[in-house]
Amino acid sequence: MSLLRKYIRQLIFENIKKDYAKNVFSGLINKPVNIAHDLKLMENHILREQIHSILKLSGQLSIYPTVDSLEDHHLNAFYAYDITGDGIPNVIFAGWISKRSSYGKIKLVMSGSDGSPEAIAFYKKEFVRLINSGEAIAEVSGAPAAILMKAGLEPLGEDKVQTLFRKPTKVWNGQHPMPASRDARNAKKYGPLGKYDKWYSRKLKAGKTITKLIFARL
């Protein structure tokens, strides 16, 4: 970001007399508000700080490591929820909606909560609802995978994964390739008969291999 841009933005901030984030939610409680456009507006630094705080608490700073980076985000679906009515986002689900690659659903890239008990409970319930209703697609491991497995949702099998999501290239594992991992243990815990033996591995651009499940209604 250029020095001139920073200077202009600072001047704008000094003259703002209200918290713009409160206008974003307009009193909507427990309802998704797509803030994809609002995050890009120069005057919404407070909103970006609030969202970045959720990402930091959720350990998801790899894509948008700084507050300023959210101003140039590339997502067209950035749903935020105010669950307390104070105009401050408590839960987010963000990703990309494409008729071609995500079949008109939101392919989740990141999600999280502000860490409060109320927000965590709402996050888990809404996450399950988004997948179960067919509104979202989630490629998951770790805690998000555990939430969906615990709720009894079933991931896509090999045929659908390899047919509907051909890129990037995936290596089908079935059972988790690391039996001692938390993901493998959760798969056995919540699906002792093999319900969650639908893991695949793929490489990131940096070369790291990750192992995931895909949950969706397709």
Amino acid 205: pLDDT: 80
Distance between CA atoms of 124 and 128, rounded to whole angstroms?
Answer: 6
Final residue before a domain boundary, out of 138, 172, 188:
138
Distance between CA atoms of 149 and 212, rounded to whole angstroms?
Answer: 13
Give Cβ neighbours of residue 213 (< 8 Å, ≥ 6 apart). Answer: 139, 140, 141, 145, 148, 155, 196, 198, 199, 200
Under DSSP, is residue 96 helix (H, G, I), strand (E, B) or coil? strand
Cis bond before residue 65 (omega within 30° of 0) = no
Residue 15: pLDDT over 80? no
Amino acid 86: pLDDT: 86
pLDDT digits (tens, 9 = 90+) for 131-157: 999 999 999 999 999 999 999 999 999
Same domain, yes or no, for 132 and 147? Answer: no
Give Cβ neighbours of residue 199 (< 8 Å, ≥ 6 apart). Answer: 173, 174, 175, 176, 177, 183, 187, 211, 212, 213
pLDDT digits (tens, 9 = 90+) for 57-69: 998 888 999 999 9
Distance between CA atoms of 97 and 105, rounded to whole angstroms?
Answer: 6
Residue 11: pLDDT over 60? no
Residue ranges making up the domain that contains 75: 19-138
DSSP H/E element including 136: strand 136-140
Same domain, yes or no, for 112 and 147? Answer: no
Same domain, yes or no, for 82 and 168? Answer: no
pLDDT: is 18 or 17 the higher one? 18
pLDDT range class, residue 7, cuts 50, 70, 90: low
Cβ atoms of residues 67 and 118 within 8 Å: no
Strands 199-203 and 171-174 come out as antiparallel
How far lies 57's CA from each of 78, 113, 157, in Å? 17, 8, 32
Distance between CA atoms of 33 and 20, rounded to whole angstroms?
Answer: 14
Six-digit token string for 90: 């408590």
Amino acid 166: pLDDT: 87
Q: Is residue 31 part of a domain?
A: yes
pLDDT range class, residue 22, cuts 50, 70, 90: low
Work out the average pLDDT over 14-29. Answer: 61
Number of domains present in the structure of the chain: 2
pLDDT range class, residue 206, cuts 50, 70, 90: confident
Same domain, yes or no, for 56 and 90? Answer: yes
Residue 84: pLDDT over 80? yes
Work out the average pLDDT over 95-124. Answer: 95
